[in-house]
Structure 1
């Protein structure tokens, strides 16, 4: 499994809620982004968000990254500050 980790600053609750509503209405990410999961974390006090896009393979992550990187900034929760392309090495759940 691979995860694309995208960090944002300058995030406010209203803008994030608008983005979440669009995602919910569309049923998820854009159809040409082959994610297996999506997690959005928000620290309102810091005005930051972290988006975790889960992919089955490195190739899927690369394909999704091309689409997401081309997004209009108005379609993101804030200012994109970093993007990490990670391979999951350990995941523990209760």
Structure 2
């Protein structure tokens, strides 16, 4: 399993909450086209305007494909901040209790 972690800054707190609500509402449709993700988590800190998006992929090839597709996407509004970094990792432990 592999993870793509995108960090964001400069958002308005309410915009982060709205963005999370939109993603949750659309989650039944699955990931966006071109993103073969097996899981997704969004961490937000409305007080500081920071967030992290963690997408999980089964294979390195899926990670590369998803990374390319996600890099081509932009937020629908400017109030959710700007992406400051993208890093990829191999998932060593995935515990869900």
With the shorter chain as reference, the TM-score category is: 0.7 to 0.9
Q: Secondary structure at the match of 1:34?
A: coil
Distance in 1 between residues matched to 2:72 and 2:63, nearest whole Å: 14
Relative to the length of structure 1, the TM-score reads: 0.83
Task: Quickly say closer, same or farther: Cα 1:25–1:31, change in 2 above 3 A.
Answer: farther
Task: Quickly say closer, same or farther: Cα 1:92–1:23, change in 2 above 3 A.
Answer: closer
| Count of residue pairs the alignment pairs up | 94
Segments of 5+ residues of structure 2 without an aligned counterpart are none
Q: Any conservation in 2 of the 1:19–1:75 contact (CA below 8 Å)?
A: no
Relative to the length of structure 2, the TM-score reads: 0.81
Q: Which residue of 1 aligns with 2:21?
A: 21
Superposition RMSD in Å: 2.0
Segments ≥4 residues shifted beyond 6 Å? none
1:8 and 2:11 are equivalent in the alignment: no
Segments of 5+ residues of structure 1 without an aligned counterpart are none
Q: 2:63 aligns with which of 38, 61, 66?
A: 61
